Amino acid sequence: MNTKTYQELLNRQKEIQLLGSMQGLLEWDQRTYMPQAGAEHRAEQTALIAGVIHQKRTAPPIDKLLHELEVDREPDDSPEAVNIREWRRDYDKQTKLSRELVEELTRTSVLSQQTWQQARADKDFSLFQPWLEKTLDLKRREAEAYGYTDDIYDPLLDTYEPGVKAVEVGKVLGELREALVPLMKSIAASGRKRDSSILHRDYPPAAQSAFVHKVAASIGYDFNAGRIDETVHPFCIGLGPGDVRITTRYIPDFLNSALFGIIHEAGHGLYEQNLPREHWGTPMGEAVSLGIHESQSRLWENLVGRSRAFWEFWYPTAQDHFQSLQNVPLDDFYLAINAVQPSLIRVEADEVTYNLHILLRFELERELLTGRLAVADLPPAWNAKFFDYFGLEVPDDSLGCLQDIHWSAGLFGYFPTYSLGNLNAAQLYAAAEGELGGLPAMFRRGEFQPLLGWLQRNVHQHGRRYNSAELIQRATGKPLSADAAVRYLEGKYGGRQVV
């Protein structure tokens, strides 16, 4: 390989990533602290930097440099070869979009999110409707520009989960549904105690904050290189090496939101904080896909954070922090945090019903994209489908189709990666347990480093060396399937008592 050529390309790519990390800060600030009146200017800033980045990513010299390296190189999985392969993929994808479209998508996304926040607060879908229509027009233009064979959803999904098709997602979500609906029914029929009212007592935000900081630190999230802020919609963002931030919201009379929200976001944060620092700015220093990213958050949130062993260690500390738990036995708390029950809000859903929330969004966003469903008809369509899947009436749109930020931010094709994350998480956890043995015993002692170490070795350190299918195959010894997830859920919630 020509080292000089590689270095020249590397410098260009690192500059692009540096600019990307500034775009990240604009986004973080927009969602945390930006004053209301700054939105219009922020849209201009974000559009400009997206345009500059797009121009640099699609600059013809990149093609030329890549071509020289491709002719020259031995195919292997060395960092250099991986970077060249992935840079080529990104270049070919990016060059299909015009700078004008990229800027327009970005500008619209900022203003649309701002309106969505207002619409959600006011429970008024009509405010948001024109922005969603505009966003959909732009996303269709984006999908057409990428091109596709038979499904306009595919090229958008590919951005988040490279190589995966809508039809495959539909199939696996369908399989999950087949397994989970009977499980839901048997849980409902069992009449099993599922009182989660103790989670809705008084939980002062300051105490929540203190507690979740301790929990996040214990599983390995490094606060010297990160922080927690408050936002409407929780997220994790890697702004660069040494700077990976997470957010949450503290609801004074509901413990779960911040507690499991932070374990979830810290799971994302652990992935970002443990990507190989020496490769920052190149594909070797980046996460594989959103489905793999989500596996890290769901694994810590659910397979660890909702396990009995975890709470055998943490519950006494929780009781020290919260008066409301003083007289609640551990078993009751454990049942409460694992109560299975149809509910309105995706981010607060239990493990069993969660994937139905995804299926609903996946089906609706496909119909919106193809135009089979008009935007104006989204609220009734959402509510009807929601009743069909969950048997619940949606009281207002803030608890219905306005609850998630994604569509306002133009993130179509994003939701399915949450369910893929659940499947990946269950399969990775089973493999880690198979190799290490006795994870619950470790959790009971507050030892989370062995599991984190396994994830570092098998997932984090590889960056984009393997695609998601290869990574799962190598880490678990088999291709991805719903088996581990179904086995885990049936083992935990089926037949026997949950504790």
> Which of 39-47, 293-301, 417-425, 442-450 is the region at the interface with a copy of itself (rule: CB under 8 A)?
39-47
Residue 373 in contact with a copy of itself, rule: CB under 8 A = no
Q: Which of 172, 165, 164, 411 is nearest to 288 (CA)?
A: 164
Based on CB atoms, which residue is closest to a copy of itself, 15 or 92?
15
Lookup result for tokens 């678990």:
476
| Residue 317 DSSP SS3 | helix
Site mask, a copy of itself, residues 266-295, x = CB under 8 A? Answer: --------------x---------------
CA 31 to chain CA centroid, nearest Å: 16
Q: Smallest distance from the beta carbon of 208 to a copy of itself, in angstroms?
A: 18
Comparing CB distances to a copy of itself, the nearer of 19 and 328 is 19
Q: CA of 264: how far to CAs of 22, 122, 179, 235, 343, in Å?
A: 24, 28, 24, 9, 19
Query: How many CA within 13 A on the CB side of residue 404?
Result: 19
Using DSSP, state whether 405 is helix, strand or coil: coil
Binds a copy of itself (CB under 8 A): choice among 222, 332, 348, 435:
222
Which residues make beta-bridge pairs with 240?
243
Nearest C-alpha neighbor of 471 from the set 482, 457, 485? 457
Residue 225 near a copy of itself by CB under 8 A: yes
HEC profile of 311-362: HHHHHHHHHHHCHHHCCCCHHHHHHHHCCCCCCCCHHHCCCCCHHHHHHHHH
Residue 43 C-beta: closest distance to a copy of itself, Å: 10
State how far the Cα of 272 lies from the Cα of 216, in Å rounded to an integer.
14
Q: Which residues pair with 229 in a beta bridge?
A: 247
Window 48-67: residues binding a copy of itself (CB under 8 A): 48-49
Q: How far is the CB of 456 from a copy of itself (least distance, A)?
A: 18
Catalytic residue among 27, 103, 104, 265: 265
Strands 236-240 and 243-248, by their bridges, are antiparallel
AA identity, residue 280: W
Size of the site for a copy of itself (CB under 8 A): 36
Distances (CA, A) of 309 to 316, 320, 359, 441: 13, 18, 31, 7
- As given in the structure block, the two tokens for residue 39 are 């939105």
Smaller CB distance to a copy of itself: residue 175 or 230? 230
Looking at the Cβ atoms of 45 and 341, the one nearer to a copy of itself is 45
Amino acid, single-letter form, for residue 334 = Y
- Is the Cβ of residue 223 or residue 387 nearer to a copy of itself in the bound state? 223
265 assigned to active site: yes
Q: Which stretch binds a copy of itself (CB under 8 A): 146-154, 225-233, 248-256, 367-375?
A: 225-233
Does position 230 bind a copy of itself by CB under 8 A? no
Query: Nearer to a copy of itself by C-beta: 222 or 483?
Result: 222
Instruction: Give the residue, chosen from 149, 197, 224, 326, that forms a contact with a copy of itself under the rule CB under 8 A.
Output: 224
Shorter beta-carbon distance to a copy of itself: residue 155 or 226: 226
Go through the chain and tell me how many residues it has.
Answer: 499
| Interface with a copy of itself (CB under 8 A), residue from 45, 95, 218, 317 | 45
**How far apart, in whole angstroms, are the C-alpha atoms of residue 245 and residue 242?**
10
Asked whether position 347 contacts a copy of itself by CB under 8 A, the answer is no
Strand ranges inside 115-185, DSSP E: none
Site string for a copy of itself, 17-36 (x = CB under 8 A): -xx-xx--xx--x---xxxx
3-state secondary structure of 489: helix
Binding residues for a copy of itself restricted to 380-399, rule: CB under 8 A? none
Strands 236-240 and 228-230 turn out to be: unpaired
Number of CB atoms found within 10 A of residue 301's CB: 23
Does 122 bind a copy of itself (CB under 8 A)? Our answer is no
| 37 versus 71: smaller Cβ distance to a copy of itself | 37
The dihedral sign for the CA sequence 449, 243, 406, 142: negative
Q: List binders of a copy of itself among 239-268 (CB under 8 A).
A: 239-243, 245
* Positions that interact with a copy of itself (CB under 8 A): 15, 18-19, 21-22, 25-26, 29, 33-42, 44-45, 48-49, 222-227, 229, 239-243, 245, 280
Active site residues: 265
